[in-house]
Structure 1
């Protein structure tokens, strides 16, 4: 087996660090809504596109606290029995499902968040009554333009002998790795209820692949050096690096899975009324369009107009949403630990 460029993640330490994240604002906390989410470019965009105009419009102050992954942030909610010290957290629909089962997220309904009336039923079905979906990403194929004269049309390209030595296999510790296995399984007749063909393909690809990243940032050096050929990625970051590297991205003909960016309110949040106003603001048409264009994602409401080149790359229409696959949250959560073990066996 070809030696892989490996990445080590210590989940216990990561979860512990999130559980201990300080959300002290330095201000009068009675007046501040604390929002916890990803750092880096996400935080910068949030503060400019969401927080500043929200405060200007409502007078409600926001404090952004950086946490870890969505899984780690939910671990902080669970460890604190629903009182982690923040009012709203940026997560995914998977954590919304878990929160609904654990009774650790507050109800979020159209009565509290009127703009949810503009959200398609397909997305509402994945909020489980305890959150809202604010954006849509999709798993795309990132490819090296210098290696592909034309965009690849199938996920099979990652296994092509001409390109497999530059493939990247994402660890299921990142949800991108889960969706990559499911896409691979479907190439051989499997799927979420039969992922074994996906792990068989993972084992085959591991003999040649370039690396096994645990998060999207770890793929960046491979793009900077131009050594990666084709690999799965989320369209938000793919759009960024398509402007700064020799890479572009496409959705293969077999279709792909969605990542549903979501907002949840811990049951112990001290500023629930303001949190509902904040979520409603994010779901307003003007903000939805502004955020989609800034973060390179699809909106969660319908009826918005986007430039043709943007719409061609992201989920912006009811037709595009209808084609998108949404993995069953209960199945993913129930099997994710076992799938991670299967993945580790496949790539060792």
Structure 2
């Protein structure tokens, strides 16, 4: 019998702290015309983001296409996690090295609260006008929306020939010993607390019933981990029936391979969770401001948003994102319409205020 796994680690999906402010903008369009006219030839900017497949996709679909379109040079610095990016920006605060940082919401909030970011000129980012106002800005106006990271349910395609319709499979007695839960430090754990609270008659502000429900999982989960390679091996051996709350994006290299028996779904009665990723500008950045604004605008281009969504299963925030027929049919790429109708936007400010307490209570409940 497979031993139970308890693997606590901090990764890019770890929820550290944060809050988001939302603002709408009225935006003109001259920048798009100038950007396409090679106005930025000879200009150079430096962009910091993840080294994982999402960062590599950004190099290919955003940075390289921006270079081809504008003549500007983009130097990419790829690193392991949002925490690494925060450390880099703080370490270089006296002599900033980066013009744009692409990172998770908690990172944008952390840098904004530290006074290390400048507020972008939203009037110079024309594509923001086609972004749902909920996703335009955040981090007290210091962050420009980028893409949505989406969390749902991962399931075994041998056990479920059609996707489960609810997170309740997690505490279904039939799946005892065959469930993987997220680690306490992971955002998925806080999302699972919210799901459990609602399932048990509570809500976001009254999570106690949820913790009581989660206590029933103690000793009944096969693993508490967010290591995608480890989880994929468990699915491949049919040791696991479901995992959540987790993102299909994390398993994008495994899901297409039927050998792993992994499926993922956002089509859940409770909806799915979205976490807005941001683009931010460090205070005192060395590059040309107009080039930086053009880059932010390019990242929100409908074609670029569609390409990124298709390659790494991001949720596009430009409502006019151009998705291929294949992408439109994929259950792993939430369309702008699905996002608008089914997505649960997290209240990062509230979660930051309860984070430490919830992590401890979750740990006590399931481990």
Say yes or no: TM over 0.5.
yes
Contact kept? 2:137, 2:145, Cα under 8 Å: no
The answer as to 2:260 corresponding to 1:248 is no
Alignment of 1:221-300 (within 5 A): 221-232=233-244, 233-244=246-257, 245-251=260-266, 252-271=268-287, 273=289, 274-300=291-317
Aligned residue in 2 for 1:18: none
Contact kept? 2:155, 2:262, Cα under 8 Å: yes
Contact kept? 2:7, 2:183, Cα under 8 Å: no
Structure 1 pair 300–289 and aligned structure 2 pair: CA distance change class (3 A): same
Aligned residue in 2 for 1:21: none
* 1:263-322 Cα shifts (integer Å, max 9, x gaps): 112223222513322111111112111111111122111123435663352321345324
Contact kept? 1:106, 1:265, Cα under 8 Å: yes
User: Counterparts of 1:296 and 1:10 in 2: how far apart (Å)?
Assistant: 22
Aligned residue in 2 for 1:202: 214
Which residue, out of 96, 105, 111, partners 1:93?
105
User: Counterparts of 2:160 and 2:322 in 1: how far apart (Å)?
Assistant: 31
Report the Cα offset of residue 71 of structure 1. 4.1
Q: For 2:224, what is the secondary structure of its paired residue?
A: coil
Greater Cα offset, 276-285 or 37-46: 37-46
Q: For 1:162, what is the secondary structure of its paired residue?
A: helix
Contact kept? 1:172, 1:214, Cα under 8 Å: no
Gapped regions of structure 1 (runs ≥ 5): 15-29
User: Counterparts of 1:113 and 1:269 in 2: how far apart (Å)?
Assistant: 18
Aligned residue in 2 for 1:332: 351
Report the Cα offset of residue 56 of structure 1. 1.7
User: Counterparts of 2:205 and 2:90 in 1: how far apart (Å)?
Assistant: 28
- In proportion to residue count, which structure has more helix? 1
Report the Cα offset of residue 209 of structure 1. 0.8
Alignment of 1:1-348 (within 5 A): 4-9=4-9, 32-78=44-90, 81=93, 85-124=97-136, 126=138, 128-232=140-244, 233-244=246-257, 245-251=260-266, 252-271=268-287, 273=289, 274-307=291-324, 310-311=327-328, 313=331, 314-318=333-337, 320-348=339-367
Contact kept? 1:173, 1:214, Cα under 8 Å: no
User: Counterparts of 1:186 and 1:177 in 2: how far apart (Å)?
Assistant: 14
* 1:29-71 Cα shifts (integer Å, max 9, x gaps): x964322222232233222222222212222222222323324
Contact kept? 1:158, 1:167, Cα under 8 Å: yes
Q: For 2:346, what is the secondary structure of its paired residue?
A: coil
User: How does the TM-score come out when normalised to structure 2?
Assistant: 0.80
Q: Runs (4+) of structure 1 moved beyond 6 Å?
A: none
